């Protein structure tokens, strides 16, 4: 019965010109059908594996029908090629916007695809780091809970608070290399001076090669939750004062938007100063 169903499906697809317009996808579907038949011939009780393969074959059949329909439209009207490619670009833009940057297509899709992959890799690395830190924090939390029970009536002295701030400072200092940033305390204020984050002259667009540095900034900021974050942008000496002030504000706003997007903060949450 499965063989008859396969023959009927393939015949229907050939009637719809799918074989001409999407031959690779259709061939893949036929190949999976053969795997289903082979699995059942070798073990007629292997229904679970056969069902899984049959579902994959059905998916490729539907995939072939979709591709053939799109290509048939393009074949009838070659102007629709532009619509197809612009549709790809729009979808890339939706992904890029969620990652905090804008796609560029003057040289095709490859550059934006590379930037998307790089951003996702950074997020994946950050996620791995956060999981490791969470595990470490859970262990420390258990240890601290025991201490709290012993010293719940003990007042934390200013010296202990200072020591805690200094420990956090040392931890954050270890995140950055000297070429990337300088970390220092000024009273109760933590200052991170980013030497490694630069912009092209006259622009406020964050370049992909700086994503990893901003990932490190996010790690540092998570050490001080619910604190006010002030971002200051700088410019070179080109242009007048009004132009440079506007440019510096735009650069600071770009960094804020990137941090909000990648730290999972809604625009109306978090305390920001620009």
Q: At what angle do helices 110-151 and 80-98 cross, to 10 degrees?
A: 20
Instruction: Determine the pLDDT at residue 118.
Output: 93
Q: What is the pLDDT of residue 155?
A: 54
Please check the confidence at residue 2 and state whether its pLDDT lies above 50. Answer: no
The β-bridge partners of 272 are 229
Q: What is the pLDDT of residue 5?
A: 47
CATH-assigned architecture of domain 161-273: 2-Layer Sandwich (3.30)
Q: Is the pLDDT of residue 117 over 90?
A: yes
Q: Which of 123, 231, 219 is nearest to 171 (CA)?
A: 219
| pTM of the predicted model as reported, rounded to 2 decimal places | 0.52
Instruction: Please name the residues in contact with 30: beta carbons below 8 A apart, sequence gap of 6 or more.
Output: 6, 10
Q: How does pLDDT run across 37-49, given as a tens digit for each residue? A: 887 777 766 677 7
Structural domain boundaries in the chain: 2-76, 161-273
- What is the rounded average pLDDT of the residues 109-131? 92
Mean pLDDT, the chain, whole residue set:
82
Mean pLDDT of 189-197: 86
Strand locations in 41-195 (E): 181-186, 189-194
Reported as a pLDDT band with limits 50, 70 and 90, residue 112 is very high
Helix axes 211-221, 241-263, angle to 10 degrees: 70
Which band of pLDDT confidence, cut at 50, 70 and 90, is reported for residue 207?
very high
pLDDT at position 274, please? 43
Mean pLDDT score, 110-124: 93
- pLDDT average, residue stretch 138-145: 88
- Band of pLDDT at residue 268, cut at 50, 70 and 90: low
| Pairing outcome for strands 228-230 and 271-273 | parallel
- 67-101: pLDDT as tens digits: 998 898 888 888 888 988 899 899 999 999 999 88
């Amino acid at each position: 019965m499965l063989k008859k169903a396969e023959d009927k499906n393939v015949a229907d697809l050939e009637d719809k010109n799918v074989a001409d317009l999407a031959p690779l996808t259709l061939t893949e579907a036929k190949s999976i059908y053969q795997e289903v038949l082979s699995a059942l011939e070798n073990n007629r009780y292997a229904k679970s594996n056969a069902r899984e393969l049959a579902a994959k074959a059905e998916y490729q059949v539907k995939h072939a029908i979709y591709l053939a329909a799109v290509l048939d439209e393009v074949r009838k009207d070659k102007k629709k090629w532009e619509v197809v490619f612009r549709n790809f670009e729009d979808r890339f833009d939706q992904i890029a916007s969620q990652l905090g940057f804008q796609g560029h297509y003057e040289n095709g899709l490859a550059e934006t695809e590379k930037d998307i992959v790089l951003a996702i890799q950074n997020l994946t690395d950050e996620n791995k780091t956060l999981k490791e830190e969470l595990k470490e924090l859970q262990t420390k939390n258990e240890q601290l809970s025991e201490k709290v029970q012993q010293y719940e009536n003990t007042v934390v002295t200013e010296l202990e608070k200072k020591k805690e701030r200094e420990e956090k400072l040392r931890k954050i200092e270890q995140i950055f290399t000297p070429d990337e940033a300088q970390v220092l305390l000024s009273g109760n204020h933590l200052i991170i001076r980013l030497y490694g984050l630069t912009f092209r002259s006259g622009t406020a667009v964050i370049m992909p090669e700086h994503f990893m540095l901003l990932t490190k900034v996010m790690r540092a900021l998570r050490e001080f939750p619910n604190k006010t974050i002030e971002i200051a942008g700088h410019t070179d000496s080109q242009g007048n004062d009004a132009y440079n002030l506007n440019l510096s504000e735009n650069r600071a706003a770009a960094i804020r938007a990137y941090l909000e997007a990648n730290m999972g903060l809604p625009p109306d949450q978090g305390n920001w100063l620009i």
